[in-house]
Amino acid sequence: MEKPSYNTDIVRSFVTWSLVWGLVAVLVGVIVSLQMVNPDLNFGPYLTFGRLRPIHTNAGIYGWGVGTIFATFLFMVQRLCKQPLWSDKLAKFQLWFFNATIIASAVTLLLGYTTSKEYHEMEWPIDVMVVILWVAFAINIIMTIIKRKDEQMYISLWYMMAALIGVAILYLVNAAAVPASLFKSYSAYAGTNDANVHWWFGHNAVAMALTAPPLAMFYYFLPKSTGVPIYSHRLSIIAFWSLIFMYLWTGAHHLLWTPVPDWIQTLAMAFSVMLIAPSWGSVINGYLSMNGQWHQMKENYLVKFLILGITFYGLQTLQGPMQSIRSFSAFIHYTDWVPAHIHMGTMGWVSMISFASIYFLAPRIYGREIYSIPLANLHFWLALIGQLIWSISLWVAGVLQAGMWNAMNDDGSLTYTFMETMVEMYPYWWARVIGGAIYFAGILIFVYNLYMTVRKKETIPSTTAEGRA
């Protein structure tokens, strides 16, 4: 049977740009962590923590995260459907519009234009750009899926479709606003409704942008890397549907102990705990897929990234529900425990899977074997160690912070002033700088390895290389 002609140029371009935005995200992350320990590094008005922090988060989520989603989805959908892309022109438009959107976001955020909604800071004209971008992407993927030859869809396609539909709904609902000028708008919702809608968006952006797509990648790139199928496709389907049924109810766990009605908080808490089941359905499926293949953890660098990635997913999906319980949330909310949680998710789970995916793609999109497997292994260890230093130091900081905030004297007065609790944070914040710098060094090695791969003279005749180490 004649093989379809797959578009790898577009995948290559998205990989390049996601790397660019990934470098920006982590570099700015290191800079803002330095600003926390040395406030003199705030250079106003444009390079202050308040303006750089949303650049860090948005470049990370939308530049690196979504850029990698674009690259991997466009690669996977063609192969899983055994069809070329529905429209190469639309994919090309998507590439340049993606970069225009990210640049417009970065510039307006630096200039101080913000809705002040966390993870949705961009003003309404950029919301319009995001919607156009996502619609172009969704049409191309869905039309390619519709043209597929096999009726039975592999689990990665289910997660891809969930991400396409989920992000569209979340973004449109949360973006509803009344424009007052070109760069100023007011939310269509008021008071607690606004907060509730916003965190419904915020938490489910994690679900639909930072959980469903990495799961699509994991289910695709793990078996492709090991050469053996996943343990159970049926388990993956049940885990998928239970995740979809449960996730959308959990957003209000960000609003525990607020004026949001108690029943909404309790609902979010219950669904968050229930969410352990589908999350661990995928984790267990991943581990059982390694039956008889655990030796590949030593021999195959791709497997290291993928298995550590799914392990961090497992840890995150235990920690997250724990944090969503009222009594525990009362203790750790607003402390440094929370950024430790999200960074184990982003640096550990999402990025580990993304690194593995791009390493897998490299020989197939560049037509050359990876330049250096030892460098890829070094990248793995730097990413792992940097991430662990980052998260563990801030877990400890968070517990210490919470303990000091809650400490009371016999007469009921607070034992520590807020400033005293801040001073105690310095060693942990320095540890965060070091962890972030190590992680950034790993990314520099990653980019260097890919750059040298592109520059290699020897090409491989077919794209069948595996990540043997």
Kindly list the residues in this chain that would bind another protein in the complex (CB under 8 A): 6, 79-80, 150, 152-156, 220, 223-224, 227-230, 232-234, 237-238, 241-242, 245, 364, 463-464
Give CA–CA dist 365/463, Å, rounded.
8
- Closer residue to another protein, CB minimum distance, 146 or 182: 146
Single out the residue of 5, 94, 19 nearest to residue 359, CA to CA.
19
Contact partners, residue 305, CB within 8 Å, separation at least 6 = 352, 353, 355, 356, 359, 380
Q: How far is the CB of 78 from another protein (least distance, A)?
A: 9
- Closer residue to another protein, CB minimum distance, 6 or 199: 6
In the chain, what are the helix, strand and coil shares in percent, each to the nearest 5?
Answer: 75, 5, 25
Give CA–CA dist 434/60, Å, rounded.
19
Q: How far is the CB of 212 from another protein (least distance, A)?
A: 17
Asked if 446 contacts 355 with a C-beta cutoff of 8 angstroms, the reply is yes
Q: How far is the CB of 6 from another protein (least distance, A)?
A: 8
- Closer residue to another protein, CB minimum distance, 226 or 323: 226
- Closer residue to another protein, CB minimum distance, 211 or 225: 225
Give the other-Cβ count within 10 Å of 384's Cβ.
20
Q: How far is the CB of 153 from another protein (least distance, A)?
A: 7
Q: How far is the CB of 221 from another protein (least distance, A)?
A: 11
Contact partners, residue 317, CB within 8 Å, separation at least 6 = 275, 276, 279, 280, 283
As given in the structure block, the two tokens for residue 116 are 């002040």
- Closer residue to another protein, CB minimum distance, 270 or 434: 270
- Closer residue to another protein, CB minimum distance, 72 or 351: 72
Q: How far is the CB of 15 from another protein (least distance, A)?
A: 17
Q: How far is the CB of 382 from another protein (least distance, A)?
A: 31
- Closer residue to another protein, CB minimum distance, 29 or 286: 286
DSSP H stretches of helix in 59-123: 66-81, 88-110
- Closer residue to another protein, CB minimum distance, 258 or 463: 463
Single out the residue of 351, 269, 279, 369 nearest to residue 315, CA to CA.
279
Asked if 105 contacts 112 with a C-beta cutoff of 8 angstroms, the reply is no
Burial level of 40, CB count in 10 A (0-12/13-18/19+)? exposed
Residues in a beta bridge with 47? 43
- Closer residue to another protein, CB minimum distance, 136 or 246: 246
Give CA–CA dist 285/281, Å, rounded.
6
Q: How far is the CB of 314 from another protein (least distance, A)?
A: 21
Single out the residue of 397, 392, 388, 247 nearest to residue 324, CA to CA.
247
Q: How far is the CB of 273 from another protein (least distance, A)?
A: 17
